[in-house]
Amino acid sequence: SPGPPGYENYLYIMIFVPMAAVLIICLLATFTVINRKKNSDRLGNGVLYASVNPEYFSAAEMYVPDEWEVLREKITMNRELGQGSFGMVYEGVAKGVVKDEPETCVAIKTVNESASMRERIEFLNEASVMKEFNCHHVVRLLGVVSQGQPTLVIMELMTKGDLKSHLRSLRAKDPSQSYSLNLPPLKKIIQMAGEIADGMSYLNANKFVHRDLAARNCMVADDYTVKIGDFGMTRDIYETDYYRKGGKGLLPVRWMSPESLKDGVFTTTSDVW
């Protein structure tokens, strides 16, 4: 027989309210776990670390935000420039990263969203190397966005791209038409070589070994000035004057000096090679 008036509504409430409560609790628990995982790699002061045990840090396993940090809202990405070693590189605009310039056209390097914390810190440590440089023939770092995702490195925009691609773009698709190429005059080619040498001399004087000097890692500005770039393999050798490669990291075998290939030793002299 039917129950008293309102019985069905009461029954629905008794069934669905506990179910809804359980669902909400599950969602909150899931959100908490995800949020805790995201923040587990960051100390309270914004420091990023890659070590499984935070009691055993090394300088290469952590990144500390400093005066180079830029607010994310000051960065605007406009278009893709190409794929970098860690992720996509974009052309964009940054506000307040250059003195007396309200806005500056910049290159924005990103790290893949799927990258591990260690890879993100390697990406930021490459930028940290560039914080030490102040030379006209070395690509300038303009800022870093380490807080939140994605991690960004803001650099001087080199509109003509890398030297290797730039020189290849001047090749004739048909060898019979090579006479019609707009090749740089010999004087300009010698100037480019001098600019690269000046940039490397600066690194040498400041006790840095690049380890991966090649045309693909030299960048060309809008006025065709060539600058040293891509410092993913650069190391500070101030203490020992040489760097010995450990582990099984990737190396630019085609461009390495004999002593680097044989013994894994990198010096400013092997950079010259």
Residue 199 belongs to domain with CATH number: 1.10.510.10
DSSP designation for 160: T
Cα–Cα–Cα angle for 191, 194, 197, rounded to 5 degrees? 155
Domain-located, residue 133: yes
- The Cα–Cα gap between 170 and 113 comes to 35
CA-only gyration radius of the chain, Å: 26
- The per-residue pLDDT for range 92-128, each reduced to its tens digit, is 999 999 988 999 999 999 988 888 888 888 888 888 8
- The per-residue pLDDT for range 206-224, each reduced to its tens digit, is 888 887 888 888 999 999 9
Residue 245: the pLDDT is 53
Residues 217 and 141 sit within 8 Å (Cβ to Cβ): no
- Does the pLDDT value for residue 3 go beyond 70? no
Residue 157: the pLDDT is 93
Pick 237 or 29 by higher pLDDT: 29
* Host domain of residue 65: 59-156
pLDDT bin (cut points 50, 70, 90) of residue 90 is very high
My answer on whether 167 and 265 are in the same domain is yes
Domain-located, residue 143: yes
Domain-located, residue 31: no
Q: Express as a percent the part of the chain with pLDDT over 70.
A: 72
Pick 100 or 7 by higher pLDDT: 100
Domain-located, residue 29: no
- The Cα–Cα gap between 227 and 217 comes to 9
Residues 50 and 117 sit within 8 Å (Cβ to Cβ): yes
My answer on whether 211 and 263 are in the same domain is yes
* Residues taking part in catalysis: 212
- The Cα–Cα gap between 219 and 163 comes to 6
- Does the pLDDT value for residue 167 go beyond 80? yes
Task: Name the range with the highest mean pLDDT among 7-11, 25-29, 41-45.
Answer: 25-29
Domain-located, residue 70: yes
Establish whether 82 is an annotated binding residue.
yes
My answer on whether 63 and 151 are in the same domain is yes
- The Cα–Cα gap between 148 and 46 comes to 10
- The Cα–Cα gap between 271 and 269 comes to 5
Q: How does the average pLDDT of the chain come out, rounded?
A: 78
My answer on whether 212 and 128 are in the same domain is no
Residues 68 and 144 sit within 8 Å (Cβ to Cβ): yes
Establish whether 109 is an annotated binding residue.
yes
Residue 99 belongs to domain with CATH number: 3.30.200.20
Domain-located, residue 4: no
Total domains in the chain come to 2
Question: Which three-class secondary structure state does DSSP give residue 49?
Answer: strand
- The per-residue pLDDT for range 135-156, each reduced to its tens digit, is 999 999 999 998 888 889 999 9
* Mean pLDDT across 31-42: 54
My answer on whether 145 and 197 are in the same domain is no
Of 157, 146, 121, the closest CA to residue 232 belongs to 121
Establish whether 88 is an annotated binding residue.
yes
Decide which of 156, 191, 224 is a domain's last residue: 156
